[in-house]
């Protein structure tokens, strides 16, 4: 049979149209709000906070420097969160009493308390006891927070593998580790990727919370520039655009990886 054409509201062109309309609406709200306040746009002053050219050499501005710090924090925290999510997810499925208690307590405490409170407790109490600096305090707190959500995705992905696959692996004489590595995880990973993409995008957005402990990330740099120049609209819209570029790029990469895994 000939494949059915998607209905009009499921076509990619419709999604692009809706995205364009929403973007135009947000721009109109910003412009109208600024006009009603008598605000004078000064976009020409923004470039110097992104980059400058001095004697033929590019000097990166504070916003780009903050973006680099944000990317560093996010990349390291992502790696730790994914590893932690895999370990904790397997602990919750191990059947061990202590492993189950520790992993469940970790997930429930982290998921049911605000990340701002966790950041303050980690930096002002735990980091001071262990001698951890600000940068790693922010990284580890973000990783612990997102790792709790990643562990639930890992656990759900593993549980979604059919029982017959486990029985077939046992009938072939595979051990528990070999079963996970060769049978279960290859089938569970494609199911985990879409929700894990949301976790990673949230991690990038939540990385702005490190500004409360005086790490000079993108949000902190933007706040400093606004307090010095009063370019509130221009700077914060630029900061939002930079975050949007990062998160859309990450979402596109995960979508590409999902297709590769599905066809692999």
* 177-186 per-residue burial string, b: 16 or more CB within 10 A, e: under 16: eebbeebbbe
Nearest Cα to 197, choosing from 148, 256, 242, 111?
256
Give the pLDDT of the chain (264 residues) as one tens digit per residue: 555 655 655 666 777 788 788 888 888 887 787 778 777 888 889 999 999 988 888 999 999 999 999 999 999 999 999 999 999 998 988 888 898 899 999 999 999 999 999 999 999 999 999 999 999 999 999 999 999 999 999 999 888 888 888 888 888 888 877 888 888 888 888 888 888 888 989 999 999 999 999 899 999 999 999 999 988 889 998 999 999 999 989 888 888 887 887 766
| pLDDT score for 170 | 83
Nearest Cα to 221, choosing from 81, 74, 46?
46
Cα–Cα distance list, 246 to 12, 183, 186, 253 (Å): 22, 34, 28, 11
Query: Is residue 56 within a helix (H) or strand (E), and if so which, with residue range?
Result: none
| pLDDT score for 181 | 81
| pLDDT score for 139 | 95
SS percent in the chain: helix, strand, coil, step 5: 80, 5, 15
Concatenate the DSSP letters of all residues of 206-232 into one string: HGGGGGGGT---HHHHHHHHHHHH--H
| pLDDT score for 227 | 93
| pLDDT score for 118 | 94
CA-to-CA distance for 94 and 113, rounded, in angstroms?
Answer: 26
């Amino acid at each position: 049979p000939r494949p059915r054409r998607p209905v009009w509201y499921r076509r990619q062109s419709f999604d692009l149209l809706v995205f364009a309309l929403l973007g135009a609406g947000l721009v109109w709200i910003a412009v109208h709000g600024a006009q009603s306040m008598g605000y004078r746009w000064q976009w020409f002053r923004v470039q110097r906070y992104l980059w400058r050219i001095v004697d033929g050499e590019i000097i990166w501005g504070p916003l780009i420097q903050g973006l680099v710090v944000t990317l560093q924090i996010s990349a390291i925290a992502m790696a730790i969160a994914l590893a932690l999510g895999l370990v904790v997810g397997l602990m919750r499925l191990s059947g061990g009493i202590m492993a189950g208690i520790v992993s469940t307590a970790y997930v429930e405490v982290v998921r049911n308390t605000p990340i701002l409170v966790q950041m303050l407790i980690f930096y002002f109490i735990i980091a001071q006891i262990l001698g951890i600096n600000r940068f790693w305090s922010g990284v580890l707190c973000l990783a612990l927070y997102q790792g709790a959500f990643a562990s639930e995705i890992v656990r759900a992905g593993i549980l979604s593998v059919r029982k017959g696959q486990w029985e077939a692996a046992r009938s072939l004489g595979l051990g528990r580790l070999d079963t996970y590595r060769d049978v279960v995880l290859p089938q569970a990973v494609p199911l985990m990727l879409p929700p894990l993409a949301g976790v990673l995008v949230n991690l990038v957005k939540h990385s702005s919370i490190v500004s409360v402990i005086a790490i000079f990330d993108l949000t902190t740099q933007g706040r400093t520039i606004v307090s010095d120049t009063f370019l509130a609209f221009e700077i914060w819209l630029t900061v939002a655009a930079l975050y949007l570029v990062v998160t859309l790029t990450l979402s596109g990469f995960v979508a590409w990886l999902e297709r590769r895994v599905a066809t692999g």
